[in-house]
Amino acid sequence: MKRIGLVAHDKKKSEMVEWASQNKLVLSAQKLFATGTTGGEIIKATGLDITLLKSGPLGGDAQLGAMIVEEQLDACIFFMDPLTALPHDVDVKALTRLATLYNVPFACNRATADAVLGGI
């Protein structure tokens, strides 16, 4: 069982929900964590068991980063919207930096998410 973090920017949440629905069987065998809004939407659509963290702008991205540092996360799937400016961009960059620093698989779009999930 792998520990996977899930998060999506607002304009990518529906894509994350669709992806999670399509991968429900594999995801149901993992320990899932998600930022509040993203996780809530996934739970509503799929019924997956997900530990909810704070919303991304309220510290959820930082919580995922801390989990990486504490070796409590095996992968992070973060559907990013590259066309929207974000007030919490610093948190997003910190999460990306920590995943890179600690060599944790970090998927930022559907193609890389499929690749990460395929390796589990």
Is the Cβ–Cβ distance between 80 and 7 less than 8 Å? no
> pLDDT-based confidence at 66, cuts 50/70/90?
very high
Q: How much of the chain exceeds pLDDT 90, in percent?
A: 87
89-118 pLDDT, tens digit each: 888 899 999 999 999 999 999 999 999 999
Active site residue 61: yes
Nearest to 11 by CA among 33, 34, 41: 41
pLDDT of 84 higher than 90? no
Catalytic one of 61, 89, 91, 114: 61
pLDDT of 86 higher than 80? no
HSE-up (13 A, CA, CB side) for residue 43:
13
Domain boundaries, the chain: 3-118
Is the Cβ–Cβ distance between 104 and 33 less than 8 Å? no
The CATH number of 3-118 is 3.40.50.1380
